[in-house]
Amino acid sequence: MYLRIKYLGMSLGILFTWKGIIMIREIIKDEAVLQQKSVPAGPGDLQIVQDLKDTLLAHKEHCVGMAANMIGFHKNIIIISLGVFNLVMINPKINKKFKPYETEEGCLSLVGTRKTKRYHSIEVTYLDEHFKQQRQTFSDFPAQIIQHELDHCQGIII
């Protein structure tokens, strides 16, 4: 069963499954809201992590990543799809960037595509969803997704 409700001014989709309740948040499309910078996240923000997982799953056919501000929370949390699994990054930061290139990207929050500059390879430090410090290098499309979502956290709209 699926219900759509308004709660505290936000539209929520609630899907009841055999695994439990899945919260599907409305995608924010207001550029003024998307341009606000996010703040660091903490252990009290784990519900946002779950909401990102649920909302990305609901949009998996046309979405490969999300930032918390896309679902109404100005916290430094992103999620990216790596095919067989999704990776949550809390308070991610790019430490190193290699090989810049120009590309065009689309966004679930915006209409159409826009040109932007990205890097083929990046080194990122972040906290995983258990708040353990991680450092990892990403290349090509996963690196591009992370850069796009980190732009969202900084209030940068491509």
3-class secondary-structure state, position 9: coil
Write down the catalytic residue from 26, 102, 129, 149.
149
Q: 4-34 in b/e burial notation, b at 16+ Cβ within 10 A?
A: eeeeeeeebbebeeeeeebbbbebbeeeeeb
Active site residue 149: yes
| 23 neighbors 72 (Cβ within 8 angstroms) | no
How many degrees, rounded to 5, is the angle at CA 115 between CA 109 and CA 118? Answer: 95
- List active site positions: 149
